[in-house]
Amino acid sequence: MLEKVNLKKVMIKEEYKPEAERLKLRLTELQQQVKEKKLPVIILFDGWGAAGKGSLISKLILNFDPRGAGVTSFVGADAAESRKPLLWRYWTAIPAQGEIAVFDRSWYQDITTAVLEEKVSRKERLRRIESVKTFERQLADDGTLLIKFFLHIDQKEQKKRFSKLEENKNTAWRVTELDWKRNRHYDDYYQVFDQTLRETSTEYAPWQIVGSHDQNSAVIQIYRTVVSEIERALERKDDKPASEEIQPGDFDLVSIPKLSEIRLDKQIEPDRYQQQLKEAQAKLKKLHNKLYRKKIPVVIAYEGWDAAGKGGNIKRVAAALDPRGYEVIPVAAPDKTELAHHYLWRFWKRLPKTGHIAIFDRTWYGRVMVERIEGFCTQDQWRRAYREINEFEKELSDWGAVIVKFWIHIDQDEQLKRFKERENTPAKRWKITEEDWRNREKWSLYEEAVNDMLRNTSTDFAPWNIIESQDKRFARIKALKILISAIEERLEKES
Amino acid sequence: MLEKVNLKKVMIKEEYKPEAERLKLRLTELQQQVKEKKLPVIILFDGWGAAGKGSLISKLILNFDPRGAGVTSFVGADAAESRKPLLWRYWTAIPAQGEIAVFDRSWYQDITTAVLEEKVSRKERLRRIESVKTFERQLADDGTLLIKFFLHIDQKEQKKRFSKLEENKNTAWRVTELDWKRNRHYDDYYQVFDQTLRETSTEYAPWQIVGSHDQNSAVIQIYRTVVSEIERALERKDDKPASEEIQPGDFDLVSIPKLSEIRLDKQIEPDRYQQQLKEAQAKLKKLHNKLYRKKIPVVIAYEGWDAAGKGGNIKRVAAALDPRGYEVIPVAAPDKTELAHHYLWRFWKRLPKTGHIAIFDRTWYGRVMVERIEGFCTQDQWRRAYREINEFEKELSDWGAVIVKFWIHIDQDEQLKRFKERENTPAKRWKITEEDWRNREKWSLYEEAVNDMLRNTSTDFAPWNIIESQDKRFARIKALKILISAIEERLEKES
């Protein structure tokens, strides 16, 4: 794609000034519409070193009210970021509805320069490209406008600019040995950039290549593109055909019984329970140390009926863990800020570090259960969510995480018994709310949603486990055993 | 304080079990009351390595519902944290109202072990101790319950525990060379710990020393203390005498005129303005590079009347800066989460990294202006705030930040003219709201509040600058010049 760029075009001041003024005004106006129409906008800048990213971003951002627009620079990942999945620092920085996020560099550094400078295998590069495309598609599907600029200059121009920066004491530090190395190997980088641009210029997020020798024409091209892309996005009706049915995506699904097929009479005797609990917890404790040492992250997802015993089950797992290495993440209804973002955003934010365990008490599956049933999202959104969730969990699995998902199961009679018991016990009364009773009335709707969920998101890398919890003790031991064997399996691969 | 601890006490199982059960139940109950009464609680654990912090925290935290209780571990500061003020990572982790935050290690590592292991001068240690005491006092004044546990074991016991951990492959990595070094120099550490405990055991945040040889008695002591401290905090009426007057704290205040004394006829001609703007921006651009190189942070605070021209003024500063090194932070009314925290929390969170510039469009001074006038905080709270703000800015100044504060000033007639102009210009209409008109009616109340603010928070390290903005061009040049000279002054100190 780069070969088509005309690097010789120049725009004279007399031509530039009035056009720039016109576009600046339009950009300022458009931001108000972006706010009103709640459009999330990402404008990312990538390109050659010294191609002028800094000053072009600076000019662009000044047209926007800072209440609703900001710049994020993505330089090398720091120590904390390196202990998260590759996309983590980008995911957590996505804009809310109505906000404009300008990104200085982006996920593209991980599939371009990184490939030449770090040990990224060919296979891993391809995986990353797929993962980036999935990320961008998920954002686009959620309504985010993504504008991607690549600033292009040739080898000679880059060399000239580096030299000029080096002449001045105050800018010399900006030019590093790596920059010079990149300039010397310009052709290699050219090839990687060009190939990547071609591979990742999609319908939902096409690349905009900007010839950046002449600043005036670069500014005008950028302004014009941002104006027209925002205008188009604001006008665009959601004319994409809505999903006719549930889309689990292209994944190998593991077969799993329906809830109605589950026998709920399983029990364990109190004495055996105490014994097995002790043993399992001791084992888990040891494994936690190993996980920490090998820096393997674990994501545990708890879903289940109200009063099924999730809390007590989680407690028995947590009791075996070192508090410095795990976190229980209770998931309630999203708050205002969370609602204004992609629904997966709040879960990306809470992912564990490598070597740590995150226990989610309710999860991203809210999308295909409560949000589906209560109409908090559109039919199209929840039908699409199965695939998005599978993709999300695949990303975690590729990162190296152990993923263990539990559906804590009881029947309707048992729930009623427990609700009543809670109401009759003063110390437990806070645990039962009006909403629990309302949800109970929708049991069959939930059952259908749960069956859909189990069937469509039970992948080989993140299968569901149904935990019979009529007898809470039985449920605790079963969950612990499944968790232990999932961790052991993962550790075996490691050694 | 450590010499008084009885390390020989032992609690037998028969005594421990029933008492532990009783206290556990009480802890669970109390958490509900903590939630209802919106009490923020910090329980911090410090002490000797291998004193049992991990398992004691684990036991304690399991009594609480994770919705409202969590553990944060503060190990060595990572690269990102090191580029913030020392207290930053603790400030940003404080609990919201109704939440229990358990801290595994704390700010005390920076005034104990760090003193022996890093180059912390005697003077800097004393500064840190004052700063920690101020931090704790500010939290206590805001209603936070602070429980501080120090876990004590003797040298022999520590050695025994390290050896035992080393015997097992899976726990051996927990014992580092540094741990052994600390054990060998136990006496030196003892002295620093003991002295620090004495110096920082205050009325509002006393230390609880726990003899940790016998786990049972340690658990019981911790449970009992947490129970009684929470009970006390819940019962405690706000019986502290409320401030009778404004408290600026013990700071050297710089004299500053009242608003009514400001002459507003200052102007600059358009041609001279263009020339001076260009020069000032070029200068600031250079200085930004120097700041970055010397890793000096800059905090710019903008306050002023509605329509005084804050936005345009900020734009002229920002236009000179590299977007990768500054951020404009627009401050609106606090959201729900922010409201549930100490009012300074949201500003601590947004502090720049070293070498970066943060431009706050409205600031922490909202406490003594809009919150005072609209009754969003109590009289006692805003009267106390002058001191707290001075302390906050002192902390930033000690950290090495350049602090520049602007009051952008116009008179009532000019504001009316600008409001009307906004209403009559379609592209600017969104800038004017009902609230602006309502605030305008309270001009004299605001004027009084602003005068109080200017008088009581103009310190030698963070003085206020009144910017006459009847002529916006004059205001922009004046602000730029003040900013430039403040940075230059700071850079001179550096070289």
In this predicted model, what pLDDT tens digit does every residue of A475-485 receive, in sequence order? 999 999 999 99
Distance from CA of A74 to the nearest CA of B (A): 9
Comparing CB atoms, the residue among B290, B319, B330 nearest residue A62 is B319
A46 pLDDT more than 90 = yes
Distance CA B144, CA B39 (A): 7
Distance from CA of A109 to the nearest CA of B (A): 16
Distance from CA of B371 to the nearest CA of A (A): 21
| Closest residue on chain A to B322 (Cα) | A54
The CA-atom distances, in angstroms, between B27 and each of A427, B31, B63, B383, B463 are 12, 6, 6, 35, 48
**A46, burial (CB in 10 Å: exposed 0-12, middle 13-18, buried 19+):** buried
Distance CA B320, CA B316 (A): 7
**Residues A1, A194: contact at Cβ < 8 Å?**
yes
A171 pLDDT more than 90 = no
Q: What is the pLDDT of residue A429?
A: 84
In this predicted model, what pLDDT tens digit does every residue of A110-163 receive, in sequence order? 999 999 999 899 999 999 999 999 999 999 999 999 999 999 999 999 999 999
Which of A27, A43, A58, A321 should one mutate to test binding to chain B, selecting the residue with the greatest count of B CBs within 10 A?
Answer: A58
List b or e across A181-212, with b for residues whose CB sees 16 or more CB atoms inside 10 angstroms: ebbeebeebbebbbbbbeebeeeebebbbbbb
Which parts of chain B register pLDDT below 70? 237-240
In this predicted model, what pLDDT tens digit does every residue of B102-156 receive, in sequence order? 999 999 999 999 999 988 999 999 999 999 999 999 999 999 999 999 999 999 9
Confidence of residue A237 (pLDDT cuts 50, 70, 90): low
Confidence of residue A289 (pLDDT cuts 50, 70, 90): very high
Distance CA A174, CA A18 (A): 33
Are the beta carbons of A430 and B335 separated by less than 8 Å?
A: no
Which of B292, B328, B338 should one mutate to test binding to chain A, selecting the residue with the greatest count of A CBs within 10 A?
Answer: B328
Q: What is the pLDDT of residue A239?
A: 63
Dihedral of alpha carbons A248, A254, A258, A259, sign: negative
Distance from CA of B258 to the nearest CA of A (A): 31
Dihedral of alpha carbons A244, A248, A251, A252, sign: negative
Dihedral of alpha carbons B6, B109, A330, B42, sign: positive
Q: Please give the share of chain B, as a percent, with pLDDT higher than 70.
A: 99
Are the beta carbons of B330 and A54 separated by less than 8 Å?
A: no
Pairing of strands A41-47, B207-211: unpaired
Chain B residues close to A284, C-beta within 8 Å: none
DSSP output for B385-398: HHHHHHHHHHHHHH
A187 pLDDT more than 90 = yes
State ipTM. Answer: 0.85
Intrachain domains A2-235 and A259-494 with the same fold = yes
Beta bridge partner(s), residue A361: A302, A330
Chain A residues close to B73, C-beta within 8 Å: 323-324
Comparing CB atoms, the residue among B54, B80, B329 nearest residue A322 is B54
Indicate the range of A231-240, A248-257, A405-414, B197-206 predicted with least confidence.
A231-240
In this predicted model, what pLDDT tens digit does every residue of A131-145 receive, in sequence order? 999 999 999 999 999
In this predicted model, what pLDDT tens digit does every residue of A328-341 receive, in sequence order? 999 999 999 999 99
Are the beta carbons of B58 and A323 separated by less than 8 Å?
A: yes
Distance CA A433, CA A435 (A): 5
| Closest residue on chain B to A329 (Cα) | B66
Confidence of residue A495 (pLDDT cuts 50, 70, 90): confident
Q: What is the pLDDT of residue B169?
A: 83
Comparing CB atoms, the residue among B62, B322, B335 nearest residue A336 is B335
Nearest to A199 by CA among A116, A108, A88, A76: A108
- Give the residue-averaged pLDDT of A434-442: 93
Nearest to A148 by CA among A114, A105, A188, A190: A105
Side-chain half-sphere CA neighbours of B395 within 13 A: 24
Are the beta carbons of A67 and B323 separated by less than 8 Å?
A: no
Q: What is the pLDDT of residue B494?
A: 82
In this predicted model, what pLDDT tens digit does every residue of B406-427 receive, in sequence order? 999 999 999 999 999 999 988 7
In this predicted model, what pLDDT tens digit does every residue of A70-102 receive, in sequence order? 999 998 888 889 999 999 999 999 999 999 999
Distance from CA of A302 to the nearest CA of B (A): 14
Are the beta carbons of A62 and B102 separated by less than 8 Å?
A: no
A238 pLDDT more than 70 = no
Distance from CA of A158 to the nearest CA of B (A): 19
Residue owning tokens 């969950």 = A479
A430 pLDDT more than 90 = no
Helices (H), A142-264: 155-167, 169-172, 177-184, 186-200, 215-235
Comparing CB atoms, the residue among A70, A104, A290 nearest residue B324 is A104
The CA-atom distances, in angstroms, between B104 and each of A315, A322, B55, B192 are 20, 11, 11, 19
Residue owning tokens 């991203």 = A364
| Closest residue on chain A to B25 (Cα) | A427
Q: What is the pLDDT of residue A28?
A: 95
Are the beta carbons of B54 and A104 separated by less than 8 Å?
A: no
Q: What is the pLDDT of residue B237?
A: 60
Which of A24, A62, A329, A431 should one mutate to test binding to chain B, selecting the residue with the greatest count of B CBs within 10 A?
Answer: A62
Are the beta carbons of A66 and B328 separated by less than 8 Å?
A: yes
| Closest residue on chain B to A27 (Cα) | B427
Distance CA A223, CA B486 (A): 35
* Domain boundaries B2-235, corresponding CATH code: 3.40.50.300
Are the beta carbons of B58 and A314 separated by less than 8 Å?
A: no
End-to-end Cα distance, chain A: 44
Are the beta carbons of B66 and A335 separated by less than 8 Å?
A: no
Are the beta carbons of B337 and A332 separated by less than 8 Å?
A: no
Chain A residues close to B62, C-beta within 8 Å: 315, 318-319
The CA-atom distances, in angstroms, between A379 and each of A178, A340, A373 are 50, 18, 10
Residue type, position B286, single letter: K
Are the beta carbons of A62 and B315 separated by less than 8 Å?
A: yes
Are the beta carbons of B58 and A319 separated by less than 8 Å?
A: yes
Are the beta carbons of B57 and A323 separated by less than 8 Å?
A: yes
In this predicted model, what pLDDT tens digit does every residue of A16-29 receive, in sequence order? 999 999 999 999 99
Task: Return mean pLDDT, chain A.
Answer: 95
Residue ranges per structural domain of chain A? 2-235, 259-494
Pairs across A and B, CB distance < 8 A: 104
Comparing CB atoms, the residue among A58, A78, A289 nearest residue B80 is A78
Are the beta carbons of A170 and B361 separated by less than 8 Å?
A: no
CATH class of the domain defined by A259-494: alpha beta
Q: What is the pLDDT of residue A440?
A: 94
Are the beta carbons of B324 and A54 separated by less than 8 Å?
A: yes
Q: What is the pLDDT of residue A428?
A: 83
Chain A residues close to B286, C-beta within 8 Å: 170
